[in-house]
C-alpha cells in the first residue's frame, strides 16, 4: 500500500517518526447509487473541503464501533451493516492518517449535520469542491467499479 502525500510542499508536523492516526470513514451509498459527502466544519483543518463522514478510532475501539459512534455524533444516523472496503494512508501536513473506508447501504434516521457542516448526495463527476485529498482515491475506486471513464471531480 502506497502513501498519498497531500500538500507535499508543506512541512510535516511531528517529524518523520509520527504515528498513524486510525480513522473510520463511512461511504454511505443510496439505492440509486448516489453517495454522501460532507464538508469539513469551520475550525477544523481543511475546513470547507468535502469528504466522506467519519472520525478517529479511539483506543480500544474497532473501526466498526468508531464508525457507528462517529456517524451518530456527526450526521445523526444509526447505520446497519458495515462493509469494510479499502484502506488508504494519507500523509497530511498535520497528521499521518490511515483511512479505513467502509461502505454502508442501510441507515436509520434523518441526516442532521451536528457540526454545522453541509452535505450533498453526489454522483460522478462530483460537483462539490474542493475535495479533500484523501477523498480523491475513493472517487477513482467508484469510477472503476461503475465503469466511469470521465474526470471524477472538478479541480477548480
Residue 35 lies in a domain: yes
52 burial class (0-12, 13-18, 19+ CB within 10 angstroms)? buried
Phi, psi of 90 (to 5 degrees): -125, 130
Cell readout for 84 is 469494510
d(CA 51, CA 54) in angstroms, rounded, equals 9
pTM exceeding 0.85: yes
Assign 38 a pLDDT band (cuts: 50, 70, 90): very high
pLDDT at residue number 155: 63
Query: How far does CA 151 lie from the centroid of its chain?
Result: 19
Q: For residues 132 and 138, is the Cβ–Cβ distance under 8 A?
A: no
pLDDT (average), residues 111-116: 95
Residues in the chain: 156
pLDDT at residue number 23: 98
Residue 62 lies in a domain: yes
pLDDT at residue number 152: 86
The answer on pLDDT for 156 being more than 80 is no
Assign 1 a pLDDT band (cuts: 50, 70, 90): low
Please give, one letter per residue, the 3-state secondary structure of 22-54.
Answer: EEEEEEEECCCCCEEEEECCCCCCCCCCEECCE
Residue 119 lies in a domain: yes
Residue 122 lies in a domain: yes
Find cell 517529524 and name the residue. Answer: 15
Which residues form the domain of 126? 3-146
Residue 58 lies in a domain: yes
What does the pLDDT look like over 76-102, one tens digit per residue?
A: 999 999 999 999 999 999 999 999 999
What does the pLDDT look like over 42-69, one tens digit per residue?
A: 999 999 999 999 999 999 999 999 999 9
Alpha-carbon Rg for the chain, nearest whole angstrom, is: 15
What does the pLDDT look like over 144-154, one tens digit per residue?
A: 999 888 888 86
Number of folded domains in the chain? Answer: 1
Domain of 34, CATH number, reads 3.90.79.10
Amino acid at each position: 500500500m502506497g502513501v498519498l502525500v497531500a500538500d507535499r510542499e508543506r512541512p510535516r508536523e511531528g517529524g518523520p517518526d509520527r504515528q498513524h492516526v486510525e480513522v473510520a470513514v463511512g461511504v454511505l451509498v443510496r439505492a440509486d447509487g448516489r453517495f454522501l459527502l460532507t464538508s469539513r466544519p469551520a475550525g477544523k483543518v481543511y475546513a470547507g473541503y468535502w469528504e466522506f463522514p467519519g472520525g478517529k478510532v479511539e483506543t480500544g475501539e474497532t473501526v466498526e464501533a468508531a464508525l457507528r459512534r462517529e456517524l451518530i455524533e456527526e450526521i445523526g444516523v444509526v447505520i446497519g451493516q458495515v462493509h469494510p472496503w479499502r484502506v488508504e494512508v494519507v500523509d497530511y501536513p498535520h497528521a499521518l492518517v490511515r483511512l479505513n473506508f467502509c461502505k454502508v447501504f442501510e441507515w436509520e434516521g434523518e441526516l442532521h449535520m451536528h457540526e454545522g457542516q453541509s452535505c450533498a448526495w453526489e454522483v460522478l463527476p462530483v460537483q462539490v469542491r474542493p475535495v479533500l485529498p484523501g477523498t480523491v482515491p475513493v472517487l477513482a475506486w467508484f469510477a472503476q467499479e461503475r465503469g466511469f471513464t470521465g474526470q471524477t471531480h472538478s479541480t477548480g
